[in-house]
Amino acid sequence: MTDLDVRLRDIDARIAEAARAAGRDPQQITRIVVTKFHPAELVRELHGLGVRDVGENRQQEFSAKAAEIGALEGLRWHFIGQAQTNKARAIRAAAHAVHSLDRARLANALDAAAEPGAPLLDVFLQVNLTEDPGRGGVAPSEVEALAEHAAACQTLRVRGVMAVAPLDEAPARAFERLRAAGEAVRTVVPDAHGMSAGMSSDFADAIAMGATHLRIGSAITGPRPEHG
Ligand SMILES: *Cc1c(COP(=O)(O)O)cnc(C)c1O
Please list the helix, strand and coil fractions of the chain in percent, rounded to the nearest 5, in that order: 45, 20, 40
Residue 25, judged by CB atoms within 10 A of its CB (0-12, 13-18, 19+), counts as exposed
CA of residue 199 to ligand 1 center, whole Å: 6
Q: What is the pLDDT confidence band of residue 226, given thresholds at 50, 70 and 90?
A: confident
Q: Which atom of ligand 1 is nearest to the CA of 219?
A: 9
pLDDT tens profile 34-84: 999 999 999 999 999 999 999 999 999 999 999 999 989 999 999 999 999
Has residue 228 got a pLDDT over 70? no
Cβ(36) – ligand 1 distance below 6 Å: yes
CA of residue 187 to ligand 1 center, whole Å: 29
State mean pLDDT over 24-36.
98
Q: What is the pLDDT confidence band of residue 167, given thresholds at 50, 70 and 90?
A: very high
CA of residue 80 to ligand 1 center, whole Å: 8
For residue 142, CA distances in Å to 22, 36, 145, 168 come to 29, 29, 6, 23
The pLDDT mean for the chain works out to 96
DSSP state, 187? Answer: T
What is 3-221's CATH topology? TIM Barrel (3.20.20)
Has residue 5 got a pLDDT over 80? yes
Cβ(58) – ligand 1 distance below 6 Å: no
Residue 33, judged by CB atoms within 10 A of its CB (0-12, 13-18, 19+), counts as buried
pLDDT tens profile 112-162: 999 999 999 999 999 999 999 889 999 999 999 999 999 999 999 999 999
What is the β-pairing status of strands 213-216 and 53-56? unpaired
Cβ(197) – ligand 1 distance below 6 Å: no
Rg (the chain; Cα; Å)? 17
Q: Minimal CA–CA distance to 221: which of 30, 80, 39, 98?
A: 39
Q: What is the pLDDT confidence band of residue 1, given thresholds at 50, 70 and 90?
A: confident
| Reported pTM | 0.97
Nearest residue by C-alpha to atom 13 in ligand 1: 80
